[in-house]
Amino acid sequence: MSGAARCTSASRPATVPAVAGTFSPQRPLLRLDDRRYSPALWQQIVELAARLKSAQQAQIALRVLDHLKISTRHIGTLTKEIGLELAQARDEKVGKHRRRQLQPQVQNPPEVVALEVDGGRLETRQPGCGPGVHQEQNKEDKIACLVSLSSQQHAQDPQPEPPPSFVDPPRVARLVQQMQQQTAPQAPPTEPVESPQAEPSPAAQEDWPGAPKRLVRTCVASMVNSRAFGPMVAAEAQSRGFYQAKRGAFVGDGQKYNWTIQRAYFPHFEAIADLLHVLCYLYQAAWAVGAASGQGWSLYVQWLRACWQGRVAEVIKQLRWWQEQLGPPQVDQEGADPRQQVSATLVYLSNNQGKMDYPRYRREGLPITSSLVESLVGEFNDRVKAKNKYWNRPEGAEAILQVRAAVLSEDERLARHFADRPGNPFRRRASK
């Protein structure tokens, strides 16, 4: 085999050792594929390529763990083939959903669910143009996080005051910087931070008493536009029984396509504006108008407490007063200009005011931040983003997103795909 060592009796043992608790130990190598890889070994190659940061790391792991010599190019070829199969299976599920033929794949639908949608960026290139990178483009990928939750309803607000993580200056400054790196090119105005503490993850911010706990996560990822992405998310939700859940939340930021998806496919889910993005806007506006007088932090805490307690109208009123004092923003002004910061925050709060009844959401035991999908986007980025890492457009990018989604979903879908694909001697066949 050109560019990679074949899996023959002369090149590797007759069994495959277990890897990272995912694979069963001492499974026989059945050479049933036309490439002479057993389904078990092929699955192992793809899973390593999907879980680790690169094909190079997967190559090292295969050599160290299994004494298997295989080129990174061939690892990429095997991984892409499975990724495109997963994409086809996903599209077939979407077709069944549209024809009203898709049935839930769970016996007991979850009682409480949450759906969060966000996006990242990855570098792509035009394939078939010879060596090197040609026509590189920075493209957006869309990611949906679907989770079943364990939570309780409360007669009173279980957390009437903002938790400590939202009113600690160093932690808030780092959180805003982290969020802005994902959503905007400019950094927010922050005080110098000298704390040696590690940068907090958005996933750690849903820490109020009685906050819902994550049970099972699955995800959907694609390079398609929002119109095509909505049915993919809906099909995944239907297969997991989300439409039968007693309580459901759809958490998103200010992107219009998020709420278009919510209205079209999840109108009975509670629409919740992500508090993390609200926090960022409040922080930037507070420092924009109060930094010179030393009131930036106190204004932020005051505005955050009001929004946390559902008094968004009070903050909007104060921001309008500040806008009158500063004047309207100019078209060509910098994003850090106080007038621009106040205007952007005012627009964001006004557009999302109806999705910011946070005391009621907490009483219902629903999440109020998009921390789950923010963390998930980071996990995707760990695999698909790096310096000088480009994906062929469109198939290469779509394929890597599918295998990454498969290993990040907590339902063994990659193993199930290999169990059902042609060539597996244990494939389940439909009875005649």
**Per-residue pLDDT tens over the stretch 344-396:** 999 999 999 999 999 999 999 999 999 999 999 999 999 999 988 999 999 99
What pLDDT does residue 334 have?
58
Residue 188 belongs to some domain of the structure: yes
Q: Are residues 196 and 329 in the same domain?
A: yes
Residue 236 belongs to some domain of the structure: yes
What pLDDT does residue 430 have?
52
Q: Are residues 85 and 139 in the same domain?
A: no
Flag the least confident range among 12-21, 113-122, 273-282, 407-416. Answer: 12-21
Domain that holds residue 273: 112-374
Q: Are residues 93 and 116 in the same domain?
A: no
Write a three-state SS string for the chain. Answer: CCCECCCCCCCCCCEECCCCCCCCCCEECCCCCCCCCCHHHHHHHHHHHHHCCCHHHHHHHHHHHHCCCECHHHHHHHHHHHHHHHHHHHHHHHHHHHCCCCCCCCCCCCCEEEEEEEEEEEEEECCCCCCCCCCCEEEEEEEEEEEEEECCCCCCCCCCCCCHHHCCHHHHHHHHHHHHHHHCCCCCCCCCCCCCCCCCCHHHCCCCCCCCEEEEEEEEEECCCHHHHHHHHHHHHHHCCHHHCCEEEEEECCCHHHHHHHHHHCCCCEEEECHHHHHHHHHHHHHHHHCCCCCHHHHHHHHHHHHHCCCHHHHHHHHHHHHHHHCCCCCCCCCCCHHHHHHHHHHHHHHHHHHCCHHHHHHCCCCCCCHHHHHHHHHHHHHHCCCCCCEECCHHHHHHHHHHHHHHCCCCHHHHHHHHCCCCCCCCCCCC
On the question of pLDDT at 191 being above 90, the answer is no
Q: How many domains does the chain have?
A: 2
What pLDDT does residue 10 have?
35
Q: Are residues 243 and 356 in the same domain?
A: yes
pTM for this prediction: 0.84
Residue 123 belongs to some domain of the structure: yes
Residue 202 belongs to some domain of the structure: yes
Q: Are residues 359 and 319 in the same domain?
A: yes
Residue 29 belongs to some domain of the structure: yes
Residue 406 belongs to some domain of the structure: no
Q: Are residues 348 and 233 in the same domain?
A: yes
Q: Are residues 227 and 350 in the same domain?
A: yes
Q: How does the average pLDDT of the chain come out, rounded?
A: 85
The mean per-residue pLDDT over the stretch 314-333 comes to: 89
**pLDDT tens, residue by residue, 68-92:** 999 999 999 999 999 999 999 999 9
Question: In this predicted model, which residue has the larger pLDDT, 336 or 429?
Answer: 336
On the question of pLDDT at 401 being above 90, the answer is yes
Residue 367 belongs to some domain of the structure: yes
On the question of pLDDT at 28 being above 50, the answer is no
Q: Are residues 197 and 76 in the same domain?
A: no
What pLDDT does residue 422 have?
76
Residue 397 belongs to some domain of the structure: no
Q: Are residues 220 and 296 in the same domain?
A: yes
What pLDDT does residue 428 have?
55
On the question of pLDDT at 292 being above 90, the answer is no
Q: Are residues 188 and 296 in the same domain?
A: yes
Q: Are residues 141 and 93 in the same domain?
A: no
**pLDDT tens, residue by residue, 151-186:** 999 999 999 999 999 999 999 999 898 887 654 333
Q: Are residues 151 and 293 in the same domain?
A: yes
